[in-house]
Chain A
């Protein structure tokens, strides 16, 4: 967790590669093509009209750029509603996950008790039970609770599945905040709750934002759970909307698909470029642990 604690990638002395091999440059164009080729087709395709999208040979750069697809998307298909649903669900997931995960991480960072390590490992194991396995029980549970086709059902499930990784990441950050601060606060008469809210939380803001971002990206991209639990048009999230409009079962492929893809992807990609140094270091730290 050392790297995550610093919040930024830091190379350890005496570790890492020796001499860079310039032969690597030969492979750069190949890598760029493989990653950006399909993405650029989607990116520029959003601004093409239907005719140009289906011409052969295909064009990459739009000949007559148009925003028509985006108007269609929001006016005819009402995609704004799907985006709004995604925002709501992702926002509350981040909020609740950080709240409950933060409290648990603080307990695991500051107290020593029996089975603490067992609990940490168990959380890691529970995190790895995939939603594919639990999807049928999720449907039945939410059906019996009367929560089918509600945002609450999604927020509950996402919160539960994201708490474990959050606990691990946040515990790493809390461990770097010196315990002497807690002790000083206790001498000044702070309760543990007060210490957490007024001292530890503000000091761990970088950690909380990294964790928050990871949760947000993951919640934004969820597909299977909302497809089964909340597929009703009024509550559906963007990924479900995309699938019902443009999936293999839909009769026609709208030119608006690529526009919809852009709208869905943009918040995540912008966030990624802001937070990527933290994501990469946070994740590798998690892998090293």
Chain B
């Protein structure tokens, strides 16, 4: 009994002393807290706030707002433009992702050949990645738009393609939009794939070569399967990049002609800041957030087994 009392008396004291270092000025808490607090306040909090806003009819043109439940969501899913926006977004994202993965892998394999000059080529290829994307959009707007006698038309005329007014034709406008976003996105895929290629074990290739495998067979049966995790990550990231990209579409077509290149991100921007209907804009944002959460979970799931070893 005495030992019991002793134990209960000592336990809280021990717990206090074990806890105290956590909140001492020298504890990790004070190093960690400010950074984490800032991150949460400007990433997680706005996302949650956006979900709340999507349930109201808040509008920048009026004072006050009221709770409207799921009205905005009903409006989104019954909107006559939904089909067009969904089609455009799906087409845009799918084309960007596939082109970036294929061309990115081809260029990475090209740059992975350790020939004299490959390092300069690598620096050059990755250069578009650091250019501000709005600059990329505006430069290509000048190349293909501006006048029918622009630089883009001249270059294409050398290949026997007649002059086009790129931004007044719906199909051509979408083509240009996809091409420019791919041009800007390829360097990132190249960086990822190059990183992946450099970790492939050489003895597998040596063994295959001794066994008489051709270059194509080595690529098909060694490189491709071993690159799979990197490829998955790269595809997930470029899907997110294309889905959320607003800089280049806004600078290049702004959704036009008409709404032929209207993507979900452009729609969010226009509804919020042209029509001032930010409750509805937040609804589109929440729908995009859900799509992004799926991508984030996939991304972390692919990363998980790799982090453990």
Contact = CB atoms under 8 A, between A and B. Distances in A.
A107 B31 contact: yes
Contact of A132 (B25, B133, B142, B244): B244
Interface in B231-287: 233-234, 240, 244-247, 250-254, 256, 265, 268-269, 272-273, 278, 281-282, 285-286
Contacts of B211: none
Interface in A30-63: 31-32, 34-39, 41-42, 45, 54, 56-58
B215 A21 contact: yes
A238 B226 CA distance: 43
Given A135-B285, A242-B135, A283-B195, A191 B41 contact: no
B3 interface: no
A161 interface: yes
Interface string A246-277: 11110001000110010011001101110010
Contact of A18 (B123, B209, B246, B296): B209
Contacts of B195: 283-285, 287-288
B73 interface: no
Given A248-B253, A268-B132, A126 B265 contact: no
Contacts, number: 312
A1 B112 CA distance: 21
Interface string A147-189: 0000000001101110110010000000000000000000000
B154 A57 contact: yes
Interface residues of B, number: 113
Contacts of B43: 126-127, 129, 134, 160-161
A95 interface: no
B126 interface: yes
A238 B247 CA distance: 14
Chain A contact surface mostly: helix
Contacts of B253: 248
B76 interface: no
B79 interface: no
Given A103-B32, A133-B288, A287-B192, A247 B282 contact: no
Contacts of A289: 303, 306-307
Given A16-B202, A160-B39, A224-B247, 10 more contacts: A38-B140, A100-B35, A107-B31, A159-B38, A163-B38, A164-B39, A221-B132, A248-B253, A249-B254, A265-B135
Nearest 9 CB-CB pairs, A to B?
A284-B195, A160-B42, A104-B35, A221-B132, A107-B31, A137-B46, A111-B28, A130-B244, A100-B35
Interface of A: 11-12, 14-18, 20-22, 24-25, 27-28, 31-32, 34-39, 41-42, 45, 54, 56-58, 100-101, 103-104, 106-108, 110-111, 113, 119, 121, 123-141, 156-157, 159-161, 163-164, 167, 191-193, 196, 217, 220-221, 223-224, 228, 238-239, 242-243, 246-249, 253, 257-258, 261, 264-265, 268-269, 271-273, 276, 279-280, 283-285, 287-289
